[in-house]
Structure 1
Amino acid sequence: MTSPTTSATAASEEPLPGVFIFGISGRVGRLLASRLRTRGMTVSGLTRSSQQAAALQADGVTTVSGELALATTQEIASMVSGFDVVVFTAGSNAGHPDVTDAIDDAALARVSEALSGTQTRLILLSVLPEAWRERSLSDEEEHYFAVKKRAEVALTREPIDWVILRPSLLTDDPGRGTVALGPAELHDEITRDDVAAVLEALVLEPTISRRILELNEGPTAVTEAVGRVARSYQA
């Protein structure tokens, strides 16, 4: 697989990984799909509507129609078969607790179960625990954070190749191309475009495995930030 870091240019002739995205119709998922397609990578994802599918297919993305909340482990395994990386950007965004339970917890558990016994990587887009703490949280938001934490804990106990990315507060501002990335970062905010850029770099950096990374705005170029993390774990 091609690495985004300059230290791994020798791997540049290796085939690019195929990527399946749960949450591909969301804002981060769509940005990530666009970035990966620009590289010429094979990208697919689960969509709920023909309108979503048509828009993605116009960009060269293949789609599977269905409801993530209803998909069985066997159905998920069939969807992701043949892909090198699964990225999970789906979530309720602190919506109704039933949706949070169904997507952020139960569906993620079925995805990780579907990957058991495979070499497929799972990259989870989660949330920084401190996010939103500067405001009074609703019951739905408190439930959301509790579920996200529980889901993370469960994933870390699975015998698969996983990475958890915890961004700070997401914004729709233009991406800066620079971030702060590491095992622990301060909470501020980060653009969705920069989150997608970091996910792209993580897809292309297979040496980062079974790690929790926190992400915030910062001064370091995305590829260098991911490269530093990779090198720190190889030292």
Structure 2
Amino acid sequence: MRIVIAGGHGKIALLLERLLSDAGHDPVGIVRNPDHTADLEQAGARALVLDLESTDVDTLAGHLDGADAVVFAAGGGSASGAERKLTIDRDGAILLADAAEKAGVSRYVLISAMHTDEFDASRAELPAEGDDVFQVYLRAKSEADADLRGRDALDWTIVRPGGLTDDPATGLVAVGARLETGTIPRADVASIVATALLEGVAVKTQFEVVSGELEISDALTAIRY
């Protein structure tokens, strides 16, 4: 499978690229900075240098021609301002969906965040500072998720992980429509995405996930949300 990953230099994306490459697949990571190409190559991926904030649907769709799936793992980052939460976390995800539909790529996995729909609307407008930036982030993720759920042409999966850690993978998770706050290693999130793609499970589902007691494949196969 040729799988194109937006945010290809992120921590989860690099772990996912290694998993896909080791399984004999062809991961392609979208990166804005050409200096990141070597890191992707070390992870077994090819780099596509493209700025999601300045490209258009037709250009991105051209790069998706022949792909089997896309993954949105991009984000403005913790140091970015409120505006980039909207232009990357929301608009970037929607742009990738538009391009996937135009290119005829039906499989789409979106890495979102836990409890995104519970943002405080009174604090999630621009301009925003301080704690309100987080509310804008939740709003951006929520609106991107809602857009994807409304696309009948895409076989989407929305993964909403809890707090991310750099701990080693456990392979054990808990999933649900809504979970209490918890944490999960980034390596397990990467495995969840890889499993959803390679096993063809959790299609048309949205779920929250933290570390738990179920094997990833079993947990995803049982999802019925």
TM-score scaled by length of structure 1? 0.83
1:75 counterpart residue number: 59
1:3 counterpart residue number: none
Higher relative contact order (CA 8 A, sep 6+): 1
Per-residue CA shift, 1:105-157, capped at 9, x if unaligned? 111111111122524211000000179x9xxx711111111111112112211
CA separation in 2, counterparts of 1:216 and 1:120?
27
| Count of matched residue pairs | 212
Alignment equivalent of 1:202, drawn from 187, 196, 207? 196
Contact 1:83/1:120 (8 A) holds in 2: no
Alignment equivalent of 1:31, drawn from 15, 28, 32? 15
What is the DSSP-based 3-state SS (H/G/I as helix, E as strand, rest coil) of the residue aligned with 1:181? strand
In structure 2, the gaps of 5 or more residues are 120-129
Q: Give the C-alpha shift of residue 201 in structure 1.
A: 0.5
Alignment equivalent of 1:66, drawn from 44, 50, 62? 50
Contact 2:174/2:213 (8 A) holds in 1: yes
Counterparts of residues 126-145 of structure 1 (less than 5 Å): 126-129=112-115, 138-145=131-138
What is the DSSP-based 3-state SS (H/G/I as helix, E as strand, rest coil) of the residue aligned with 1:29? helix
TM-score scaled by length of structure 2? 0.87
Q: Give the C-alpha shift of residue 71 in structure 1.
A: 1.6
In structure 1, the gaps of 5 or more residues are 1-16
What is the DSSP-based 3-state SS (H/G/I as helix, E as strand, rest coil) of the residue aligned with 1:44? strand
CA separation in 2, counterparts of 1:185 and 1:40?
34
Name the stretch that deviates more: 60-69 or 163-172.
Answer: 60-69
Q: Give the C-alpha shift of residue 207 in structure 1.
A: 4.3
Per-residue CA shift, 1:55-88, capped at 9, x if unaligned? 2124431111121111211111112111111010
CA separation in 1, counterparts of 2:33 and 2:101?
29
1:185 counterpart residue number: 179
2:24 is aligned with 1:40: yes
Pairwise CA RMSD of aligned residues?
2.1
What is the DSSP-based 3-state SS (H/G/I as helix, E as strand, rest coil) of the residue aligned with 1:116? helix
